[in-house]
Amino acid sequence: MQIAGKRVLLTGAAGGLGEVSARALAEHGATMILSGRDEQRLNELAASLPGDGHEVIVADLSVADAAERVVGQAGRVDILIANAGRPGGDNLAFTTSETVTDVLRINLESPIQMSRAVLEQMKERGEGQIVLVASMAGKFAMPGSTLYSSTKSGLRAFGWALRAEVAKYGVGVTLISPGFVSEVGMFAKRNGKAPPGSGMVSPSRYARELVEAIEKDRGEAVIASPQLRGLGQFSLIAPGLVERIFRRVAPARGRRD
């Protein structure tokens, strides 16, 4: 789908990858509908984007029914980018029930509900694009990423199934599976460092490949270093071996003293 002239609903817009995505899409002529929790930051971002008519919808997707309300407020949506996510990184034994609910709702339930909500109008027009931001963590799981990896793996399965379902309506579904992104990724946001040897990609590469994936209706864009891409493929072939490796090289990840 061509981006120019389209209305794009972007969740998690106030975060690092959200801002990178918003700028890239606005530069290609999209009108952005920016959603997130930080109203001030969203308004500042909207004002700084090229083009006119950008909108802001303040919402907390951890709240029940928030996903459907955002879609209702957005009006026409040509492209949905479900980018909002929560790390939830901790050993499951130390994770609260509230955290489980929040991570599942933000990372998995909200993208599903928003996809369902926008699908009706996209079917009527005979076109649209649903973009689901998953993660390389959906291809392999490290200790301490129980919730995050499970939700991102579930999102990948949902995306592939949905793509097959809605192709006949002229609607595309694209999965974005990033690895570690320098400066703006989740590890950077938490002042952490990517595991040694994992490699990182630049924000500009992420933006470029996101735009290309949307315009070419790719089923999945894996935006990651060669090392992580290889690990993702290997984990599908020998998950038990990868699990044993992680137990040796990252035994303390997610553990509390």
Q: State pLDDT tens for residues 119-167.
A: 999 999 999 999 999 998 888 877 778 899 999 999 999 999 999 999 9
Share of the chain above pLDDT 70, in %: 89
pLDDT in tens, 7-37: 999 999 998 899 999 999 999 999 999 999 9
Region of 75 (left: φ > 0; alpha: ψ -120 to 50; beta: rest) is left
What is the token pair recorded at 54? 């950008």
CATH of region 7-249, choose from 3.40.50.720, 3.90.650.10, 3.40.50.2300, 3.40.50.300: 3.40.50.720
- For residues 206 and 91, what is the distance between their CA atoms, to the nearest angstrom? 29
pTM over 0.85: yes
Contact in structure between 10 and 32 (CB atoms under 8 Å)? yes
Q: Are 21 and 10 in contact (CB under 8 A)?
A: yes
Enumerate residues 6+ apart whose C-beta is below 8 A from 245: none
Please check whether residue 18 is in contact with residue 179, taking contact to mean a CB–CB distance below 8 angstroms: no
Indicate if the pLDDT at residue 193 is higher than 70. no
Residue boundaries of the structural domains of the chain: 7-249
Quote the tokens at residue 123.
Answer: 């079917």
* Dist. CA 106–CA 64, nearest whole Å: 10
Residue 187 has pLDDT above 60, yes or no: no
The answer to whether 179 and 228 have CB atoms below 8 angstroms apart is yes
Catalytic residues: 148
DSSP 8-state assignment for residue 170: T
* Among 66-75, 88-97, 173-182, 198-207, the least confident range: 88-97
For 26-145, strand residue ranges (E) read 31-36, 55-58, 79-82, 128-133
Mean pLDDT of the residues in the chain: 90
